[in-house]
A and B are shown apart, each in its own frame.
Chain A
Amino acid sequence: MDATEAEFSWIFHEEFASVARTAYLILHDRTTAEDVAQEAFTRLFVNWAKISHYERPGAWVRRVAIRLAVRHAQRERIRVALLRWVEPPQHETAAHDPDLMSAIQALPPQQRAAVALHYLEDRPVAEIAGLMSCSPATAKVHLFKARKRLALLLHERDEEGNDAA
């Protein structure tokens, strides 16, 4: 392993698991989430000579992974919708809170990404917007709609006073 690969390995160990976990909350499939994260890191490696000079290469790879995950989830939603009458959608088992995971899975992929970045990574709206390559206003709308929908699905009241029913 040469110096470049050693340097890359360092950021890989720092960021891979976190990126894969965020992708998992968008995709709801562990293997696919890891594959998406790996694809994002492969792109990072190919462009490492340039991106290693960025202030935060980790943000670059996270943005790529989120974009890939959202696209994959969008394709998957279409595929599932088309095949729903043939085979019912399969959910990953052994979730701590299966209702919560089902509710998140019911969200559009962009909203899933927004809630994952907000509740899992604890990021403010401005950073969510940067990572999702959208405006802060759009990110805020994604979060608002996601919260409203989750409250409805989970029969709970969200903290902004919106009643589930």
Chain B
Amino acid sequence: MPLERRLRDGMQREAANLAPDLPARLEATLRDGRRRGRRQQFRTALAFATVILGVVLLGPPVIDALRRAPVGASPSPTAATTLTGSYATTLASTDAAVTANRMQGDWTIGFGSSGILTVTTPSSFTGTRSGYSFQVTGDQFRTDLFGADVCSTLLPGTYQWNLVSGQLTFTLVDDTCPGRVALLTSASWSAIAPQ
């Protein structure tokens, strides 16, 4: 008998001997499949819960770290040579954010060459005074001033700045922090000394 025919006939005869108990096999398959399906759903739910838990537990520290992160790259040479120095103003605004944070009084603000911003505040002010930064790009000025407490926002504020004859003024471009807007834009800042 040729090999091809022997193989074909022989395999078909052998295979035909296998007659599975289909109802029993189907029942077992469905039972096992349902169990695995439930397990898969449980695993998916568990993974989802883990992600939620991770966000809840790790979210606040990450947000806090972001809030305290520097605003961005170090200032451009133009900004450092032009804006660097200390300026003073008196805040007399009756803005709600100003009164709420007891910000009325004399302020000085210092722009360091390394992009660090420092403030001297009225004694009534209890907010954080250090650890802030700024960035200048052309006439745009960005800062995270008060981001630690008064502003309670991650987003830095953006202003347009102008320095003419020792008088520094900021014009609001985009900032959601009323306290910072009031401090920077209520009055012009007078140059005290270059740093």
Contacts and interface: CB of A to CB of B under 8 A. Distances in A.
Interface in B1-17: 1-4, 6-8, 10-17
Contact of B25 (A30, A34, A46, A156): A34
Interface string A90-107: 000011110011001000
A42 interface: yes
Interface stretch (A51-59, A65-73, A78-86, A113-121): A113-121
A164 to B, nearest CB: 8
Interface residues of A, number: 41
B37 interface: yes
Interface size range on B against A: 20 to 34
A34 B40 CA distance: 24
B19 interface: yes
A94 B40 CA distance: 42
A158 B4 CA distance: 7
Given A5-B30, A34-B20, A38-B29, A25 B2 contact: no
Interface string A4-16: 0100110011001
Given A25-B14, A119-B11, A20 B33 contact: no
Interface string B36-57: 1100100000000000000000
Interface secondary structure of B, over-half rule: helix
Contacts of A119: 4, 7-8, 11-12
A41 B14 contact: no
B1 to A, nearest CB: 8
A150 B3 contact: yes
B3 A158 contact: yes
Given A38-B29, A95-B14, A120-B11, A13 B22 contact: yes
B58 interface: no
A120 B12 contact: yes
Contacts of B33: 42, 45-46
B25 A38 contact: yes
A16 B22 contact: yes
A156 B11 contact: no
Interface of A: 1, 5, 8-9, 12-13, 16-17, 20-22, 24-25, 30, 33-34, 37-38, 41-42, 45-46, 94-97, 100-101, 104, 115-116, 119-120, 147, 150-151, 154, 156-159
13 contacts: A16-B25, A34-B20, A34-B25, A42-B33, A45-B37, A95-B14, A96-B13, A96-B17, A97-B6, A100-B14, A120-B11, A158-B3, A158-B4
Closest 10 CB pairs of A and B: A45-B33, A21-B15, A100-B10, A97-B10, A156-B3, A158-B3, A120-B11, A96-B13, A119-B7, A119-B8
